[in-house]
Chains A and B, each alone.
Chain A
Amino acid sequence: MKKFSYVITDELGIHARPAGLLVKEAAKFTSNITLKCGDKSGDAKRIFGIMGMGIKKGNEVTVEAEGSDEDAAIAGLADFFKNNL
């Protein structure tokens, strides 16, 4: 299992559009990808689950990937968070 942490800087937090983009990005990998924030967690491939977490600016999230392409998944998602959130 690989993971990284990131503090959200986007004013609106993970709102609909970035949640959609995140799902798209996560779907590129076969690994199970989990998003954690405080005591909540959600599957990064499920848009309702992510939006339902209500992640806001300033929140720290941890992204965990487990599976055959976990290294690539973490690298890809780390870039995604930096560029979009």
Chain B
Amino acid sequence: MITLHGKSVFGDICIGDIVFYKRKERVIKRYRVEDTDAEINRFQAAKSEGVIQLQALYEKALQDVGEANAAIFEIHQMMLEDLDYHESIINIITSQQVNVEYAIGVTADNFSAMFSAMDDAYMQGRAADVKDVSERLLTILDGTDTSNTDLNKSKSLDNPYILASDDLVPSETVQLDKSKVLGFIMQKGSANSHTSILARSMGIPAIVALGDELKPDYDGITAIVDGFTGTVYIDPDSKTLEIMKQKQAEAGEKKELLKQLKGKESITLNGQKIKIYANIGNTSDVGTVLSNDAEGIGLFRSEFLYLENNDFPTEEQQFLAYKQVAENMAARKVIIRTLDIGADKQADYFNLDKEENPALGYRAIRICLMQPDIFKTQLRALYRAAIYGNISIMFPMIISVQEIVKIKEIVKEVKAELTAEGIPFKDNVETGIMIETPAAALVSEDLAKEVDFFSVGTNDLTQYTLAIDRQNQKLDPFYQPHHKAILKLIKMAADSAHAEGKWIGICGELGADTSLTEEFLRMGIDELSVSPSMVLEVRKKVRETDLSK
């Protein structure tokens, strides 16, 4: 078994035999011509024919893969008719008195070199388009076809296969019988190359930039393409095959689930609705939030900004991160939790003292209230970013009203400062607190008067209620996540919230525990925030639940 790594452009798995597609090499000869006008005429004729071909390809692609993918052939037409391109070719023919093939070859090299030299990955990918257009002209001129028209007719292609090559150009992919292609593996290419765009629109695994390690000799050999990790297993051993088949089946179930549940409401059989949001820990997680169809972000842990840095993240750094997530989520809610450093999450530059009981120590909101400068920087960034989407702010580790009063004072100062500086921000941002200490649940009736929402952090709530250290594996036998005490505290918080007309969510691990979904629904929990991969399973559970029975 040989394992190769590349850049994945679509997360899925396929298993099949490799067909390595190798283009015939074209050799362009340079020779001197006397009659340059005749050469120019040959060029014009080839160009007219090329335009007709591209028009036909556009029509075909329109039917096969849709307008967005077909547009490339319209662009190819424009490239073919581009004046710069013409002038270059005609200029080379007349000034050097050479044949049209040579003029086209040189022009193609020059123009594609221009794209390759651009600092933008997308534009670099367009070098292939110039080559493709020029190749079309050369094919028309000498009648030899170097493209893969015969690929579909080839011997081994009765069965679906994994297509390997250096990189495919649009005119090659459009001619493929797409029902036969399981996945793409390419030596070259980028996330923006044509093969990648096509793979994404077909929804099949593709890995590009595998390099020369992907050898033409692998033609006919069985392989596994794991688009989740960007790995290709050539001639896999039986153990790998078994693992990947399992993974493939799971991905298939997931896809099926997604097909059934995407865009559907999270509603019980008797009509009770609940929102299902996702928890994330970095701006880069937004993609998986959207692909799993979460209705919002219920917990955006802001710690990554602090943990990934060697010093306190600046207001601007934070602002950009929050803004990006808010914009990417469009109108969907994004609940950002303020700094939750301390206990098991440490950053050196905070210079926190070593503590006997860190979980009961100087952490989260306690740091923010004792070191308001750190807190203010984050609040400024949050209130500024709130303009760009539907941001809510959530404060962790609350035990009493007293902290909320202090938080409100600081927020007021922050707003006054922003106003004085003339910096735009959103005034009425929804604010809430985490219910993760037994104290907070027990005084939730007072807390509910002060905030817009609650979100139960079940991991800490469990640790503090049961007095079980989460980090100590020895205590596992005593750990009872469904302990009645925890559920009672959640119920208490839910009743307090609802009595004040506020909403309550659950963002800890219990939120994704489908054996508790029904109980949470009965408590009237308004929102469950779970890891992105659990969103659809929880939605499925909700839709199967009937509370009228």
Chain A interface residue bracket vs B: 10 to 19
* Residues of A23-77 contacting chain B, CB below 8 A: 23-24, 43, 45-49, 51-52, 54, 56
Q: Which of A15, A19, A24, A49: most chain B CB closer than 10 A?
A: A15
Contact A16 to B82, CB < 8 A, known contacts A51-B123, A54-B119, A54-B123: no
Q: In the docked arrangement, what's the CA distance between A13 and B83, Å?
A: 23
Contact A48 to B85, CB < 8 A, known contacts A17-B71, A20-B75: yes
For residue A48, which residues in chain B have a CB less than 8 angstroms away from its CB? 79, 82, 84-85, 111, 114
Contact A47 to B79, CB < 8 A, known contacts A16-B129, A20-B74: yes
Residue of A13, A47, A49, A52 touching B75 (CB-CB under 8 A): A47
Q: In the docked arrangement, what's the CA distance between A11 and B319, Å?
A: 19
For residue A13, which residues in chain B have a CB less than 8 angstroms away from its CB? 120
Q: Which of B71, B78, B84: most chain A CB closer than 10 A?
A: B78
* Residues of B114-130 contacting chain A, CB below 8 A: 114-115, 118-120, 122-123, 126, 129
Whether A15 lies near B123 (C-beta < 8 A) is yes
* Residues of A1-28 contacting chain B, CB below 8 A: 12-13, 15-17, 19-20, 23-24
Whether A20 lies near B78 (C-beta < 8 A) is yes
B408 smallest CB distance to A (angstroms): 37
Whether A46 lies near B123 (C-beta < 8 A) is no
Whether B85 lies near A16 (C-beta < 8 A) is no
A76 smallest CB distance to B (angstroms): 18
Determine chain B's interface SS by DSSP, over half rule. Answer: helix
For residue A16, which residues in chain B have a CB less than 8 angstroms away from its CB? 72, 75, 126, 129
Whether B71 lies near A46 (C-beta < 8 A) is no
Q: In the docked arrangement, what's the CA distance between A55 and B71, Å?
A: 20
Q: In the docked arrangement, what's the CA distance between A15 and B68, Å?
A: 13
B162 smallest CB distance to A (angstroms): 28
Whether A15 lies near B114 (C-beta < 8 A) is no
For residue B74, which residues in chain A have a CB less than 8 angstroms away from its CB? 20
Q: In the docked arrangement, what's the CA distance between A45 and B115, Å?
A: 18
Residue in B closest to A19 when the chains form the complex, CB atoms: B75
Q: In the docked arrangement, what's the CA distance between A51 and B129, Å?
A: 12
B207 smallest CB distance to A (angstroms): 23
Residue in B closest to A23 when the chains form the complex, CB atoms: B78
Whether B83 lies near A45 (C-beta < 8 A) is yes
Contact A51 to B115, CB < 8 A, known contacts A16-B126, A20-B75: yes
Whether B122 lies near A12 (C-beta < 8 A) is yes
Q: In the docked arrangement, what's the CA distance between A12 and B83, Å?
A: 25
Residue in A closest to B119 when the chains form the complex, CB atoms: A54
Residue in A closest to B81 when the chains form the complex, CB atoms: A47
Whether B122 lies near A46 (C-beta < 8 A) is no
Whether A54 lies near B75 (C-beta < 8 A) is no
For residue B84, which residues in chain A have a CB less than 8 angstroms away from its CB? 46, 48-49
For residue A12, which residues in chain B have a CB less than 8 angstroms away from its CB? 122
Q: In the docked arrangement, what's the CA distance between A73 and B385, Å?
A: 39
Residue in B closest to A22 when the chains form the complex, CB atoms: B78
Residue in A closest to B111 when the chains form the complex, CB atoms: A48
Whether A20 lies near B122 (C-beta < 8 A) is no
Residue of B72, B114, B122, B129 touching A52 (CB-CB under 8 A): B114
Q: In the docked arrangement, what's the CA distance between A49 and B123, Å?
A: 13
Q: In the docked arrangement, what's the CA distance between A12 and B72, Å?
A: 15
Residue of B72, B83, B119, B126 touching A51 (CB-CB under 8 A): B126
Q: In the docked arrangement, what's the CA distance between A17 and B129, Å?
A: 12
Residue of B71, B111, B115 touching A20 (CB-CB under 8 A): B71
Whether A46 lies near B83 (C-beta < 8 A) is yes
A49 smallest CB distance to B (angstroms): 6
A27 smallest CB distance to B (angstroms): 9
Residue in A closest to B83 when the chains form the complex, CB atoms: A46
The 9 tightest CB contacts between A and B, nearest first, are A20-B75, A47-B78, A48-B84, A16-B75, A20-B78, A47-B82, A54-B118, A46-B84, A48-B82
Q: What are 10 pairs between A and B in contact, CB < 8 Å? A: A15-B122, A16-B72, A20-B78, A46-B82, A47-B79, A47-B82, A48-B114, A51-B126, A52-B114, A54-B119
Given A12-B122, A19-B75, A48-B82, output 13 extra A-B contacts at Cβ < 8 Å.
A13-B120, A15-B123, A16-B126, A20-B74, A20-B78, A24-B78, A43-B83, A46-B83, A47-B79, A47-B82, A48-B85, A48-B114, A51-B126
